[in-house]
Amino acid sequence: MALILPNHLTVKEGHLYIGKHDCVSLAEEYGTPLYVTDEERLRSNFTRYDEALKKHYPDVQLLYAAKANGNLTIMKIFASLGAGADVFSSGELHMALLAGMPPEKLLFNGSSKTREDLSLAVEKGVKVSLDSFDELRQLNEIAGEAGKIVEVSFRINPAIDVPTHPKIATGLATSKFGIKADQIVDAYRAAMECPNVVPVGMHCHIGSQILDVEPFAKAAEIMVRVAGEITDLGVRLSFIDIGGGLGIPYNHETEVAPTPQEYADAVVPVFLKGIQKLGIKPQLWVEPGRNLVGDTTVLLSKVNSVKTSHKKFVNIDAGFNLLLRPAMYDSYHEVIVANKADMERDTEYTVTGPICETGDIIAADRKLPRTEDGDIVAILDTGAYGYSMASQYNCRPRCPEVMVFGERSGIMRRGESVIDILNTMKKLPWHEK
Ligand SMILES: *Cc1c(COP(=O)(O)O)cnc(C)c1O
C-alpha cells in the first residue's frame, strides 16, 4: 500500500522533500541526526484549527500546549498568529513570555507546582489552573504577600475513559490530574472565600492522541454542566478551557484522524448549547499541542550499519535519546528511506537507535527498500513530544533543529556538544588537590 503523505512532504526523483528542501541535502548540509520543521505547515496547522473553531463561536482563544515543542522560534510564530499558551512549568512560562505571548493568554497548569512557580505566576500576572486545595491555600497566601489578586480556574477531572495509550489518558477517574467531581463545588466555594484569588475559569484536559471526537464532546458536556453548578454559586466565568488532545494519523497507511473542523463541529455546539442555557458568554479556550506541531517535523538520521541477525536490523544515529515516543508509549512513526523514497519497500527491517538499551527501537518489523549504510532515513511526525522529550542519555549531545520556509533554511537550535554536557559538572572541593 502507498503511504499517504501530508502535502508538505513530497517525493521527487527518488528523494523525500520537506517543503522545497531535499531531505538528503539537508542531512548533508547540517549533519545527522537532525530535526527539520516546515514553517508553512506550522502556520497552516494553526490557522486551520483556529478557523474551524471560530466558525462556530468567535470568542475562541487557542492556547498552544508548550510541552509539545518548546522551541522559542515555534512559540514566536504561534504568538504572532494570536496564540496564548498552556504552560506546565516556570521554564515554559518564561519561554511563552519571551515569545511575546501576553500574560492574559497564558494558563499555568500543573499538578505539582512549587511555591516558586506560584510566585512567578503571581508576579507575571498569568492565570493559574489549580489542581488541589493545598495549591489554592498556597496561592492565596503568596498573592496576599505580593498584594495581588490572581485569577484562577480549577482543573476538573471529568472521569472519562478515552481510547488512547494509558500513559496519555489524563482524565480518568484514577488519574493524578484534576479535582474529583464531588469536590468541585467545594473547591470553587473555597476559592470564593480567598481574598487574593478570584475563580474565573474552568479547565480540563482528557488526554492526548485521541482519534475520536466523541470523548471531547462528552467532556464539553460535563464542563458546561459543572459550569451551571459553579455559576449558581456566584462565580462569573470568563473562560472555559476544554484542553487539547486531538490526535494525528501516525500510521500513514491505516490511521485516519478527525480534522480540526470535525472536532469543532462535534464539540463547539455542545459548549454553545450549554452556555446559552445558562445565559453566560465565557471565552472558549482550547489547548492543542500535537495537532499543531506533530506533522510539521521530520527527524533525519543516518544508517550506520545494517545487520542480519534473527532479523534484519537497520542501526541509525537517532534513538530514544532524541525520540522517546516509541520506547515510552509504543508509538508508531512512519520511516522513509529519504534517498530511496520511490523504491519498492520489499524488505522487512527493525530500525534501532544507538542507545545501550534493548528497548531502543524506533520502528519494528517495517517494510523498507533494500537499505545500506550511509542511507538517510526520515522519521515522520516528530514535531510533537520529539525534541521536547529528548535527553542526553549515554552522554549523547542533543541534535540541532532546523526550520525551512520556502527556499530558506536555518538553524533554530544548535546541536549540543560533549563540552555542553561537561560544563554543568563540578569538581568537589574535597577532591581538589
Ligand atoms: C499535554 C497537554 C495538552 C496538549 O495535548 P495534545 O495532545 O498535545 O494536544 C493540553 N493541555 C494540557 C493540560 C496538557 O497537559
Tens of pLDDT, residues 398-416 = 999 999 999 999 999 999 9
353: annotated binding-site residue? no
What is the rounded distance in angstroms from the CA atom of residue 290 to the CA atom of residue 309? 36
* Pairwise CA distance, residues 222 & 220, whole Å: 5
Pocket test for ligand 1, best of 74, 170, 205, 210 (most atoms within 8 A of CB): 205
CB 289 near ligand 1, within 6 Å: yes
Q: Is 387 annotated as a binding residue?
A: no
Q: Ligand 1 pocket, 205 CB below 6 A?
A: yes
Confidence check: pLDDT of 212 > 90: yes
Minimal CA–CA distance to 343: which of 7, 39, 1, 15? 15
Measured in Å, residue 233 CA sits from the centre of ligand 1 at 29
Which residue has better confidence, 394 or 171? Answer: 394
Give the CB-side neighbour count of residue 370, counting CA atoms within 13 A. 0
**How does strand 21-22 pair with strand 15-18?**
antiparallel
Question: Which among 224, 223, 296 is positioned nearest to 48, based on CA atoms?
Answer: 296
Short-list 238, 150, 177, CA closest to 202: 238
Determine if ligand 1 sits within 6 Å of the CB of residue 109: yes
Q: Is the CB of 245 under 6 A from ligand 1?
A: yes
- Tell me, in angstroms, the distance from the centre of ligand 1 to residue 240's CA: 15
The x, y and z cell numbers of residue 181, run together, are 467531581
pLDDT tens for each residue of 88-134: 999 999 999 999 999 999 999 999 999 999 999 999 999 999 999 99
* Range 218-233 average pLDDT: 96
Instruction: Convert the chain into a string of H (helix), E (strand) and C (coil).
Output: CCCCCCCCEEEECCEEEECCEEHHHHHHHHCCCEEEEEHHHHHHHHHHHHHHHHCCCCCEEEEEEHHHCCCHHHHHHHHHCCCEEEECCHHHHHHHHHCCCCHHHEEECCCCCCHHHHHHHHHHCCEEEECCHHHHHHHHHHHHHHCCCEEEEEEECCCCCCCCCHHHECCCCCCCCCECHHHHHHHHHHHHCCCCEEEEEEECCCECCECCCHHHHHHHHHHHHHHHHHHHHCCCCCEEECCCCECCCCCCCCCCCCCHHHHHHHHHHHHHHHHHHHCCCCEEEECCCHHHHHHHEEEEEEEEEEEECCCEEEEECCCCCCCCHHHHHCCCCCEEEHHHCCCCCCEEEEEECCCCCCCCEEEEEEEECCCCCCCEEEECCCCCCCHHHCCCHHHCCCCCEEEEECCEEEEEECCCCHHHHHCCCCCCHHHCC
Minimal-distance CA residue to ligand 1 atom 15: 205
On whether 255 is known to bind a ligand per the annotation, the reply is no
Measured from the CA of 155, which atom of ligand 1 is nearest?
13
d(Cα 365, Cα 368) in Å, to the nearest integer? 9
User: Is there an atom of ligand 1 within 6 Å of 171 CB?
Assistant: no
Check pocket membership of 302 for ligand 1, CB cut-off 6 A.
no
Residue 1 has pLDDT above 60, yes or no: no
Asked if residues 37 and 402 have their Cβ atoms less than 8 Å apart, the reply is yes
Is 13 annotated as ligand-binding?
A: no
Q: Which is the closest atom of ligand 1 to the Cα of 86?
A: 11
Does residue 173 have a pLDDT over 70? yes
Cα–Cα distance for residue pair 156/235, rounded to 1 Å: 15
- Whether residue 119 has its Cβ less than 6 Å from ligand 1: no
In ligand 1, which atom is closest to the CA atom of 246? 9
Distance 38 CA to ligand 1 centre (A): 21
247 carries a ligand binding annotation: no
Alpha carbon nearest to ligand 1 atom 10, residue? 244
| Residue at 213: amino acid letter | V
> How many whole angstroms from 116 Cα to the centroid of ligand 1?
23
Known catalytic residues? 356
329 assigned ligand-binding residue: yes
Q: How far apart are CA 251 and CA 295, in angstroms?
A: 12
Report the residue among 107, 109, 287 best suited for mutation to probe ligand 1: largest number of ligand atoms under 8 A from its CB.
287
- pTM value is 0.96
Atom of ligand 1 nearest to the CA of 384: 8
pLDDT at 159: 84
35 labeled binding residue? no
The mean pLDDT of 307-335, rounded to a whole number, is 97
Reported as a pLDDT band with limits 50, 70 and 90, residue 267 is: very high
The model's pLDDT over 56-79, given as tens digits with 9 standing for 90+, comes to 999 999 999 999 999 999 999 999
- Strand-pair category, 408-413 with 401-405: antiparallel
| Ligand 1 neighbour 41 (Cβ under 6 A) | no
